[in-house]
Amino acid sequence: MIRITRVRPYGEMLRSYEIFIDDIYRGEIKIGETKEFAIKNGIHTVRAKIDWGSSNELCVNVDDSIVELEVGSFVTGWRLLFALVYATFLSHKCLWLREKVDISNVH
C-alpha cells in the first residue's frame, strides 16, 4: 500500500495533482488530502503531475507495510514570481515527492 499526503503550500492551491504509479494514472490528490493506493508488493515508481509540470520520480519498495509519501510544490512563496520560468524551463521541477519522515522516532 502506498499512502500519499499533499502538503499545504501556497502555490497550486485550487488544482489537483495527478498520481502515476509505474506510469499508470491512479487518481488525483487535492490540497491537504491523503490518499491510499493498493499496489502489489515489489518495487514501483511514483510521480505526481500537474498540467505543465511534474515531480521527481521516486522508486519505492512496497512490502506488507504502508509506504508513506508526501507531495508538494516548489512554486511557493517568492518562487511564485518565477512561475512562468518553472512552467517553461523547469517543468520537471515544479513539484516534489519524498518519503514521509517520522519525526516521533528522532532524538
List pLDDT tens digits, range 18-77.
Answer: 999 999 999 999 988 999 999 999 999 999 998 777 888 999 999 988 999 999 876 555
The label of the residue with cell 499526503 reads 5
Domain extent at residue 36: 2-105
Task: Report how many domains make up the chain.
Answer: 1
Whole-prediction pTM value?
Answer: 0.77
What would the grid cell of residue 39 be? 499496489
pLDDT greater than 50 at residue 78: no
Are 74 and 96 contacting, i.e. CB atoms less than 8 angstroms apart?
A: yes
**CATH code, domain with 31:** 2.60.40.1120
Cross-strand partners of 71: 6, 97
Burial per residue of 83-107, b for 16 or more beta-carbon CB atoms within 10 angstroms, e otherwise: eeebeeeeeeebbbbeeeeeeeeee
pLDDT value of position 26: 97
pLDDT greater than 80 at residue 79: no
What would the grid cell of residue 93 be? 521541477
Contacts of 101 (CB under 8 A, 6+ apart): none
pLDDT greater than 50 at residue 16: yes
